[in-house]
Structure 1
Amino acid sequence: MKTMKNWLLTGLLFMIVSTAFSQGKITGMITDGTGSLPGANVVIKGSATATSTDFDGKFTLNTTTSTGEIVISFLGYDNLTLKFSVTNGGTTNLGTIVLASNSNELSEIVVKSSIVDVAKDRKTPVAVSTIKAAEIQEKLGTQEFPEILRNTPSVYATKSGGGFGDSRINIRGFDQKNIAVMVNGMPINDMEGGTVYWSNWAGLSDVTTAMQVQRGLGSSKLAVASVGGTINIITKSSDKKEGGSFSSGFGNGRNFKIQGSYNTGKLENGLSASILLSQTMGDGYINGTQFEGSNYYVALGYSTKNDKHDFQFTVTGAPQWHNQRSTVSTIATYQQYGSLSDPNTRYNPDAGYLNGEAYNIRKNYYHKPIASINWDYKINETTKLSSVLYASMGRGAGASATGGIRGKSYSDVLAFRTADGLVDYDKIVAYNSGTPVLINGFTGLQTRAQVGGVYQNTSSTGSNAAAGASTGTSGISQTSSINSHDWYGAVINLNKKLTNTLTLDFGVDARTYTGYHYTVVNDLLGGGEYYDTLMKSDPARHITSTYPTDVQWNVFQKKDYDKIAFNSTGKVQWLGAFTQLEYSKDNLTAFVQGSVSQQGYKREDSFVYLPTDPLASTDYEKIIGGNVKGGANYNISEKSNVYVNAGYYSKQPFFNSVYPNNRSTVNPNLTNEKIIGFEAGYGFRSKYFNGTVNVYNTNWNDRYLKGNPLPAAGLIAANTTYTEYLGLDEVHSGIEFEGSSNITEKLKVTGMFSYGIWEYKGDATVNAYFQADNTPVPGFTGIPVYMDKVKVGDAAQMTASVGASYEVVTRVTVDANYNFNDKLYAGLTPVNFTSPDNKGALELPSYGLMDAGFSYKMLTGKNKDKSVNFRLNVNNLFDKVYIAESRTNIFADDNLPVSGTQAPGANGTYASKGLLYDGVATSNQVFFGFGRTWNFTLRYDF
């Protein structure tokens, strides 16, 4: 018995020890049904044992217990609890685990709303790239919102002047006026000019659930300006999972941001709410570009118990102000305030000091909230009605300078410059107020005379009199060009499943827009009054009222201003109808869609016209346009698919093409722009590699382009004319590749390549008109402009990138990305193409940039379903100096300017005189890109 008892005790002890020290593994892959979910939390219930998925959605969890439950959680998805059983030393593979979304991720949005035209993988036949919130949240940092797209094919994004939100984006060689930007199915391109000012939408990066770029004509059913592509931005909705986040970040240039958000989740009564608030500020990377911005987002939702009705109300806005760098300097100027080999790329010719504090006369301040009500109504199993009503009231302006002193503007490269190149605003104020000052380039003290007993500022720069004269009357003022608007719209779409294979959509798109444009005085800078002579009914007005450059939070308030220079109202009415028929069966999906829209343009102006003049209020100039598109996708196998699409778009001209030069005379040369696009592609999906390749060709005919003034000659005074191109055609074609590969469970590699051939086709003609009344300049009708085969500028025609991320240890990841840009040409300058032997567009040096990042995620909470996240981003890691864009086309072998009776070429060429930087003539006006920047973010998700 004793022996038996010892054996029993020994066996029991062995079992206890074996159980306590047993080791096993649990593996699996977590997806949302369409793609992997990197960073999902996996925790053994009731323990501290936890891990997170890698970038392929895979996880491995070591366990010391043979049975139990794991809890899987991911922000925006329902938690999932699964039982497991594992043998000692064994591995249990749970396979592919699909989490159910409780937020409007891409797949859910497609089901809920037929207004949001989101392309579906291996189904919608367009070239598309999708970026989800996690990547935006992690990698954007202090970059501008469009810059997160620069590692997608055929996308070129730059910071332009470098002010907060002043970046621009170009897709397939088309600028952002010809790229449709949509937020939750609402078009947000300005209805007068098609522009998108990203400073007005800076808060979108905080509230975006996913962003999708459809290159080419895209899948949008609306008649929108998708010549180069469509950017679909889907914001989070009120019914996200209960929880929230708090984050704080800082970076170079004293950049600081703080943000908080909370979601109630969908309550039992069907109600839900979400709120986000943030604040950001900093000095900016470019000298003198201080900024401050806020962001608010509120979403309220309600859905019925039977899910027949779903309502979402959202309002978001990002009031901000930021100082700008609007004046473009030559390379020689950057060298002057740096060195020949190391130009001062941060130099800002608009920045300076006033009364000992940083001051910039160029400032943008704006508040553009947008509110919308979405209603999705499931009428029956085959019929859905989706609609959105939206409104936006924009209030704000861009401040600049008006007038001059002794014939010199504030930005003159010599007159008002300190030794380090800053604008001497103290000197301007002193002169304006009557104090004698020394002005660079003039001899002796310069004084100002009064007019009518007051120091009077006007729009005139004054006279640069003979050297012996020392008295002038003109002055410099800070003024703002107001560009406010009221915008209301609605999109309604009925989605009807006709059969098991056919689905029909049809709907309407209605919008109305009123833009308010005028100028006000912000600061007389020491002067006594502003004298305005441009109002027809009162051409002798003495203005003393000034208005601060403050952000207007209350957009419902309509302020009464004393207006100068101009005061006009632009009205646009848009009424469109659209339809789409989609066929889907087995491996084949095909669609055909068409839309038509009528745009009406009306101009009201009782400033330059007498109120009794018929031109003070025009009739609506109504123009019809539309598009037709079709395409098909065929899934060859579970891994491969091919697609093709084609379309035709008749695009109405912008407001300033209908009424050029801020006058009420309708352009006699009005014509719609015609776009014909074709695209074909192949996609491959596998466990280890995903990739797409596509080719495209886009013909853009009858493009409208307004050119520079004619040079002063004979009876033509400087800056009194403008030019217009007629018959300007472009052809954009190219090839694109995008792919990703999971080399190992911890290493993921991504890459893209695009090569474009973007050229003007054929020659054009240029007409010239006087600015005052839009009448033709005699003798300048139909001057030929030789554009055939000239490269389209302002965007790199060859781009490539390669990136990698590696999980060093669990939840600790490092990543890097190299982006290369080549075949980058300067912007078009009309004077370069009046000769048949012109040199074409100036090609700028290629450049490559390396970005890097470090992430750490620490799981917290009882169930490890909360986390603290650390993220460090470094952009342009190696501090590469590069030219991002050029406004001029001056070649190295061009002759230097001559004066007097010198023969052309007497001074030699830029190359012969060594006036080159990286092979580029130093007299070119350029913007350099940013050097090394960094930011660090700490975020708590709960």
Structure 2
Amino acid sequence: MKLINKSMLTAVITLSTASVYYAQQVQDSTKIKSNDIEQVVLTGVADIAKDRKTPVAVSTIKEAQIVERLGNQEFPEILNTTPSVYATKSGGGFGDSKLNIRGFSQNNIAVMVNGMPVNDMEGGSVYWSNWAGLSDVTSAMQVQRGLGSSKLAIASVGGTVNIITRAADKKQGGVVSLGVGNNDYVKSLFAYNTGKSEKGWSSSFLMSRTAGSMYADGTKFEGYNYYFAVGYKKPGGNHDFQFTITGAPQWHNQRSYAIAISDYIKYNPDHDGTPDRKYNSDWGYLNGRQYSARVNYYHKPVMSLNWDWTMSEKSKLNTVLYGSFGRGGGTNTTGSANGKSLSTFRDQNTGLYNFDNVFAANQASTPDKGVLIRNASINSHNWFGLISSFNHTINDNFKFSAGVDARYYYGYHYQVATDLLGASGYIDKNNKNIPPNLVTAVSKPEASWNPFGGKIDPMSNRIGYSNDGEVLWYGAFGQFEYTNDKISAFIQGSVSNQGFQRIDNFIIDGVSTSKRGEIMNTKTGFKNLFGYNVKAGVNYNINEQHNVFGNVGYYEKQPFFNAVYRSNENIVSPDLTNEKIFGVELGYGFRSANFNANVNVYRTTWDDRYLRKSNLRDVVAGKTAYVEMNGLNEVHMGVEVDANYTLNKILTINGMFSLGDWYYKGNANATLFEDSTNQPLNFPGSTSNEATLYLDKVKVGDAAQMTAALGVTVKPVRNLSFDATWRNTNNLYASLDAFNFRTQAAAQKGTLELPSYNLFDLGLSYRINLNSKQYFTIRGNVYNLFDTTYIAESNTNTHANLSAQEYAEIKGGTVAGLAKEYAAYQAAGNYKGVSQTNQVFFGFGRTWTATLSFNF
């Protein structure tokens, strides 16, 4: 195991290190408490952990830090100085970032906005580009690692991220800001709060625009954000109403596919043997202008009505009714021009696509002979929900709460043509369930501004596939709390029924058959699955400085939609089962006037997991595929330390250290399919699309198992602030690769470990006061100060320096049969001890932003 050096580790542990850099800590050296959040936002149905009371591992970030530190970073990256958090930009497109907590992906992290669940109801996904505007309206963000304190039956396997937006009754004032950064980044923002009137009315408004390019080539974007809230509470009344609507219509060009390291080096225009971190294989030129094969566009407005009713001194009812209407999708290419796939149009000097040649080839062909077009995979939805919680204080020591969580979701999934690229039309010949259909209409890849959704394309325009997903969710929860001067304890439980129905519009009732020969119908009917969780915890305040806590929980979590209906078919999986999660955690906290620290140890087991990995490029004869894995069992355990130390009004020190041990337990099964046709694909070197994955004791990848951070904030004079952050990433492994664990030899070799890296960020703020209410603020940030080149994640798991015999044993073939493949592997060589055949994403190089804002 690679470690940071001893002196560095000693410094981290000695200083203890904080998960967050609190903007107000210089004036207030005590740790942020939950009531600080309640003073600036409406928490409503959100379950906010309270310091020295709620027995969970928690970190809180307030608005000022987000405004200062985020710049042109991705929203989840603000959490990278929190223990056991690993957030990356992934491919590097605007909003394409992803978040891991304790080794669990964001599909299994509950992301909540004002207590409302955000994770997609079919697959648990979180698309941060849909929520890019949240950074503008967030008043506080709290991360509860582990099972958390939420009473809902949510998928908080790794943790819960509670994002609390500004309230309508925020004090009167406004702000205008303009930010610029690398790669033509420009952001403008205006916000204003009316404050609360004498009659109890209040409102808040925000509008912003962000545009430019990301660090990678060919990643232009444009995004807007709007937010409006209106509140009413009659003076002295018992009812508080808040209505909010927010949305972030955007489009952005993507870098969707992880790229072989050898290609980063091959297509570096400097030809100096180093990787071009900006290289993007998904774009080119058409008529002299940038043209991307991969464009994401979406608008997901969310409306909510919060009603808080103080029924009596002891009873309160919190209710939120919400709705969301998402419209949009992401583009790709399909078809072939006279038998030529898109890869044949790549320029071997630049690595970019020549779309002018695609255009010419399409014009020289006809739809019946084959053309290559850009299509879009639509993922639209209508989503409605209601959460209501009744809270009652029995006496000074006992409280209980109970409530309901009801949701309805209808998702639209289909493909349409977005650009015929010179062709007169496109004939879809891949779908076995419907006759070939000539399509001549195109849908522009633009986000609709309609806050209530917008058009759903007619069936006549759909190609590839057309299926809908319907989800019904009914849940109930309850919690019992006990508190006194020393002890706070809770026990809570929730139950939920999730009903899943798949509707395939291309299926002919009673005629279409599955891959296994079963007759299928357009509608499956609802498959109902019951799940539940039970959690308990206790916190003991030893004295004013020391406290200890523990919690334990068990989940029976329903699998996601694509596990119920696998292989994109209207057949319920024959081995469908709930996923089982058991977690236990112990913690210690220390509080003093100028030093605060936390230590946590945890262990979580996750059994009977199902996972689908898509967008697997060139895994079989140049095809794009997806793999389904089931029967996965995981163990995640580790230790976390975080703290902050305020030396005086000038200097504050913060940081964190976390060390995990995350691995698979037992073996699993995998099946492989072609992405465009859903037809089975045989694994390389095999005559079957099914395989056993030998994973016992193999490390869980896709997130760093050791992280550390150290930061200082210096205020040498009034209104001037300087901050610096160091972050270390270690024990980082490649994500699960179903193609390299099909033999015992591969399991013995283990997961590919990526090189560790260190990053440094700098920030500077200066405030110019005009009067008590009006002031200018100048802020500058530099990220990755020393322009460090590092691999942020790998999609494949090929080890370096393998002998011909080792290579054959791992691949499950013979030396003679794999001679040509092994020769290519050898020729590719290594980069920093990693085989150049691995498909990876490099982290961004040095980037910067500067912002001027005026508060009034």
Aligned partner of 1:209 in structure 2 is: 139
Q: Does 1:369 align with 2:301?
A: yes
Shift of 1:780: 5.8
Aligned partner of 1:496 in structure 2 is: 392
Amino acid corresponding to residue 526 of structure 2 in structure 1:
Y
Q: Does 1:417 align with 2:347?
A: yes
1:641–1:818 CA distance, 2 compared to 1 (3 A): same
Amino acid corresponding to residue 930 of structure 1 in structure 2:
F
Shift of 1:474: 2.7
8 Å contact kept, 2:568–2:678? no
Given the alignment, which residue of 373, 384, 389 partners 2:316?
384
Aligned partner of 1:181 in structure 2 is: 111
> Structure 2: where are the runs of 5+ without partners?
1-19, 513-519
Q: Does 1:753 align with 2:647?
A: no
Given the alignment, which residue of 471, 481, 501 partners 1:582?
481
Give runs of aligned pairs for residues 200-349 of structure 1, distance below 5 A: 200-338=130-268, 339=271, 341-349=273-281
Aligned partner of 2:762 in structure 1 is: 852
Given the alignment, which residue of 822, 836, 843 partners 1:922?
836
Distance in structure 2 (CA, Å) of the matches to 1:779 and 1:420: 37
Once structures 1 and 2 are overlaid, which stretch shifts more, 504-513 or 830-839?
Answer: 830-839
Give runs of aligned pairs for residues 704-715 of structure 1, distance below 5 A: 704-706=610-612
Given the alignment, which residue of 529, 539, 563 partners 1:633?
539
Amino acid corresponding to residue 557 of structure 2 in structure 1:
K
1:820–1:808 CA distance, 2 compared to 1 (3 A): same
Q: Does 1:701 align with 2:607?
A: yes
Amino acid corresponding to residue 524 of structure 2 in structure 1:
T
8 Å contact kept, 1:741–1:748? yes
Amino acid corresponding to residue 697 of structure 1 in structure 2:
R
* 1:861-899 Cα deviation digits (max 9, x unpaired): 2xx232110100000000000000111111112357999
Given the alignment, which residue of 449, 454, 464 partners 1:565?
464
Q: Does 1:808 align with 2:722?
A: no
Aligned partner of 2:632 in structure 1 is: 728
Determine helix, strand or coil for the equivalent of 1:833: coil
Distance in structure 1 (CA, Å) of the matches to 2:595 and 2:486: 21
Q: Does 1:685 align with 2:595?
A: no
Distance in structure 2 (CA, Å) of the matches to 1:386 and 1:797: 39
* 1:255-278 Cα deviation digits (max 9, x unpaired): 000000111101000000010000
8 Å contact kept, 2:613–2:627? yes
Determine helix, strand or coil for the equivalent of 2:802: coil
Q: Does 1:737 align with 2:641?
A: yes
8 Å contact kept, 1:882–1:929? yes
* 1:727-746 Cα deviation digits (max 9, x unpaired): 32100000000110012220
1:37–1:840 CA distance, 2 compared to 1 (3 A): closer
Amino acid corresponding to residue 639 of structure 1 in structure 2:
Q
Distance in structure 2 (CA, Å) of the matches to 1:307 and 1:244: 28
Aligned partner of 1:64 in structure 2 is: none
8 Å contact kept, 2:385–2:408? yes
- Using the size of structure 1 for normalisation, the TM-score is 0.82
Distance in structure 1 (CA, Å) of the matches to 2:534 and 2:815: 59
Aligned partner of 2:6 in structure 1 is: none
Given the alignment, which residue of 516, 524, 535 partners 2:420?
524
Shift of 1:770: 9.4
Shift of 1:403: 1.4
Distance in structure 2 (CA, Å) of the matches to 1:615 and 1:871: 59
Amino acid corresponding to residue 937 of structure 1 in structure 2:
T
1:749–1:216 CA distance, 2 compared to 1 (3 A): same
1:722–1:299 CA distance, 2 compared to 1 (3 A): closer
Aligned partner of 2:37 in structure 1 is: 106
Given the alignment, which residue of 456, 460, 479 partners 2:375?
479
Aligned partner of 2:68 in structure 1 is: 138
Amino acid corresponding to residue 678 of structure 1 in structure 2:
V
Q: Does 1:591 align with 2:470?
A: no
Distance in structure 1 (CA, Å) of the matches to 2:239 and 2:774: 32
Distance in structure 1 (CA, Å) of the matches to 2:33 and 2:544: 23
Determine helix, strand or coil for the equivalent of 1:632: strand
Determine helix, strand or coil for the equivalent of 1:427: helix
Determine helix, strand or coil for the equivalent of 1:146: helix
Once structures 1 and 2 are overlaid, which stretch shifts more, 496-505 or 825-834?
Answer: 825-834
Distance in structure 2 (CA, Å) of the matches to 1:599 and 1:758: 29
Once structures 1 and 2 are overlaid, which stretch shifts more, 368-377 or 832-841?
Answer: 832-841
CA RMSD of aligned residues (A): 3.0
Amino acid corresponding to residue 286 of structure 2 in structure 1:
L
Which structure has the larger Rg over C-alpha atoms?
1
Amino acid corresponding to residue 240 of structure 1 in structure 2:
K
Distance in structure 2 (CA, Å) of the matches to 1:292 and 1:245: 22
Q: Does 1:356 align with 2:270?
A: no
Determine helix, strand or coil for the equivalent of 1:674: strand
8 Å contact kept, 2:326–2:453? no
Once structures 1 and 2 are overlaid, which stretch shifts more, 380-389 or 112-121?
Answer: 112-121
Aligned partner of 1:61 in structure 2 is: none
Aligned partner of 2:8 in structure 1 is: none
Shift of 1:343: 1.1
Distance in structure 1 (CA, Å) of the matches to 2:616 and 2:128: 32
Shift of 1:423: 1.1
Determine helix, strand or coil for the equivalent of 2:265: helix
Aligned partner of 2:507 in structure 1 is: 608
Distance in structure 2 (CA, Å) of the matches to 1:911 and 1:529: 41
Q: Does 1:799 align with 2:712?
A: no
* 1:672-724 Cα deviation digits (max 9, x unpaired): 100000000000111121110000000001111236899999xx999699754
> Structure 1: where are the runs of 5+ without partners?
1-34, 40-53, 59-95, 435-447, 449-454, 458-472
Amino acid corresponding to residue 851 of structure 2 in structure 1:
T
Counting aligned pairs with the same residue, the percent is 50
Distance in structure 2 (CA, Å) of the matches to 1:710 and 1:230: 29
8 Å contact kept, 2:113–2:165? yes
Distance in structure 1 (CA, Å) of the matches to 2:751 and 2:90: 19
Amino acid corresponding to residue 557 of structure 1 in structure 2:
G
Shift of 1:305: 1.5
Once structures 1 and 2 are overlaid, which stretch shifts more, 532-541 or 598-607?
Answer: 532-541
8 Å contact kept, 1:832–1:840? no
Once structures 1 and 2 are overlaid, which stretch shifts more, 270-279 or 542-551?
Answer: 542-551
Aligned partner of 2:13 in structure 1 is: none
Amino acid corresponding to residue 153 of structure 1 in structure 2:
P
1:335–1:689 CA distance, 2 compared to 1 (3 A): same
Determine helix, strand or coil for the equivalent of 1:335: helix
Distance in structure 1 (CA, Å) of the matches to 2:487 and 2:657: 28
8 Å contact kept, 2:210–2:224? yes
Shift of 1:557: 2.7
Shift of 1:283: 2.0
* 1:480-523 Cα deviation digits (max 9, x unpaired): 00100000000000001112101000000000000001100011
Determine helix, strand or coil for the equivalent of 1:456: coil
8 Å contact kept, 1:534–1:608? no
8 Å contact kept, 2:566–2:572? yes
Higher-RCO chain (CA-CA 8 Å, sequence separation at least 6): 2
Given the alignment, which residue of 717, 724, 734 partners 1:826?
734
Given the alignment, which residue of 548, 551, 557 partners 2:444?
548
Distance in structure 2 (CA, Å) of the matches to 1:720 and 1:359: 21
Distance in structure 2 (CA, Å) of the matches to 1:212 and 1:925: 34
